[in-house]
């Protein structure tokens, strides 16, 4: 049956908790999602009455839906498709391990195919809800995209890194999402630059788990460049020998040739890979004892009260953060499982700072370590 905790957060798990199959009740659920190529996943433990109906459902059903809802006014709702990849039985308890996808073939079956148009390819191959909150910046509509003995998941991941400069994506709890890092649309369709309408502050229901630290990933400020088009970086001018059908990128580890038509894809991919794996100005986790109003990929305002050292100067120079990951843990009073902080319910998010003292880290700024 549907479970609601003291924070008025409810979880329903269909078909296991519906009326016809009401032989299971929740013990705990633990789920995780993040920006990038990893498919969201989780586990849920239930206790059943030992009936043949309960046993048959556990043994034969591989698909389901988790409905996570904040029962408070204007609370968020998540409808999460799941595919069960493993089961663990102990007496009348069963733990189901799942990925948040409607069809396992998305991550298992290999294909050798050729496609055109990057957005339409992603749209056709992803088996579930899709949110394209930004258009691709690849202008050449005649490019061919080759799926080389890859799963649809691996192929789409590769396309997503090349889709648009300064964009982020996720195979999240609810489905696929791609957007500008700090752009026009959050999960509600609001303009994040208008300014962000989702604010957080430290209080009794929110704690910052990790300490504050700055870690600059200098590689992102020193991207590959074409030695023929950037003669000022070279000791000699080789422009007269530049090939017509190849473009070259030079890095500290050598020079790589790329077919001219595919250079925008490669440039986007290289930058976005560095971008999404970096920490920029700051990166830490917060734990919330409630269901937040933001979702994966949203840009929010997080205000931490700084200690004034001099007039108008505090130790907290950050404001804008990208929601990089979400982790949910919920257990019932009958269960002996707790999260890593000893709590029965928590929502842990990784926040990635994209601003320091009013300066945005969106790829156009200079390397702060070059001072």
Give residue-wise pLDDT tens across range 17-47: 876 656 889 999 999 999 999 999 999 999 9
Which of 252, 276, 300 is the last residue in one of the domains?
276
- For β-strands 299-303 and 320-331, DSSP reports them as antiparallel
Residue 144, exposed/middle/buried by CB under 10 A (0-12, 13-18, 19+)?
A: exposed
DSSP code at position 218: G
- For β-strands 24-34 and 320-331, DSSP reports them as antiparallel
More confident residue, 240 or 66: 66
311 within some domain: no
pLDDT at 309: 47
Which band of pLDDT confidence, cut at 50, 70 and 90, is reported for residue 278? Answer: confident
136 within some domain: yes
132 within some domain: yes
The candidate with the shortest Cα–Cα distance to 87, out of 39, 55, 49, 52, is 55
229 in helix, strand or coil? coil
Distances in whole angstroms, Cα of residue 266 to Cα of each of 113, 215, 225, 269? 20, 26, 12, 5
Cα 113 to its chain centre, rounded Å, is 27
Report the distance separating Cα 251 and Cα 255, nearest Å. Answer: 6
56 within some domain: no
139 within some domain: yes
Which of 247, 276, 305 is the last residue in one of the domains?
276
231 and 174, same domain (yes or no): no
Full-model pTM: 0.86
Residue 141, exposed/middle/buried by CB under 10 A (0-12, 13-18, 19+)?
A: exposed
6 within some domain: no
Number of H helices, E strands in the chain: 5, 23
Predicted confidence (pLDDT) at residue 252 exceeds the cutoff of 80: no
Domain that holds residue 264: 219-276
């Amino acid at each position: 049956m549907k479970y609601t905790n003291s924070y008025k957060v409810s979880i329903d798990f269909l078909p296991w908790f519906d009326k016809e199959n009401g032989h299971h009740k929740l013990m705990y659920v633990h789920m995780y999602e993040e920006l990038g190529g990893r498919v969201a996943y989780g586990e849920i433990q239930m206790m059943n009455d030992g009936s043949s109906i309960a046993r048959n459902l556990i043994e034969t059903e591989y698909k389901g839906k988790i409905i996570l809802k904040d029962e408070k006014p204007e609370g968020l709702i998540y409808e999460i498709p799941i595919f069960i990849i493993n089961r663990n039985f102990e007496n009348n308890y069963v733990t189901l391990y799942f990925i948040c996808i409607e069809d396992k073939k998305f991550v298992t079956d290999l294909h050798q195919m050729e496609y055109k148009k990057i957005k339409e390819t992603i749209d056709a191959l992803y088996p579930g809800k899709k949110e394209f909150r930004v258009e691709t910046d690849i202008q050449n509509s005649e490019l061919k995209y080759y799926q080389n003995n890859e799963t649809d998941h691996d192929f789409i991941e590769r396309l997503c890194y090349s889709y648009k400069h300064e964009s982020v994506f996720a195979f999240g709890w609810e489905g696929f999402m791609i957007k500008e890092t700090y752009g026009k649309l959050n999960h509600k369709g609001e303009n994040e630059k208008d300014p962000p309408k989702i604010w957080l502050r430290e209080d009794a229901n929110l704690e910052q788990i990790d300490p504050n630290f700055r870690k600059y990933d200098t590689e992102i400020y020193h991207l590959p460049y074409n030695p023929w088009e950037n003669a000022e970086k070279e000791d000699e001018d080789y422009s007269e020998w530049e090939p017509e059908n190849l473009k070259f990128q030079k890095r500290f580890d050598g020079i790589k040739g790329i077919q001219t038509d595919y250079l925008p894809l490669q440039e986007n991919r290289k930058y976005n890979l560095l971008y999404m794996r970096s920490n920029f100005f700051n990166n830490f986790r917060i734990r919330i004892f409630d269901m937040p109003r933001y979702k994966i990929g949203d840009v929010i305002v997080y205000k931490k009260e700084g200690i004034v050292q001099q007039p108008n100067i505090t130790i907290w120079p950050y404001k804008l953060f990208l929601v990089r990951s979400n982790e949910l843990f919920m257990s019932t009073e009958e269960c002996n499982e707790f999260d890593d902080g000893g709590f029965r319910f928590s929502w842990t998010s990784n926040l990635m700072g994209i601003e320091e003292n009013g300066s945005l880290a969106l790829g156009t700024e200079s390397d702060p370590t070059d001072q």
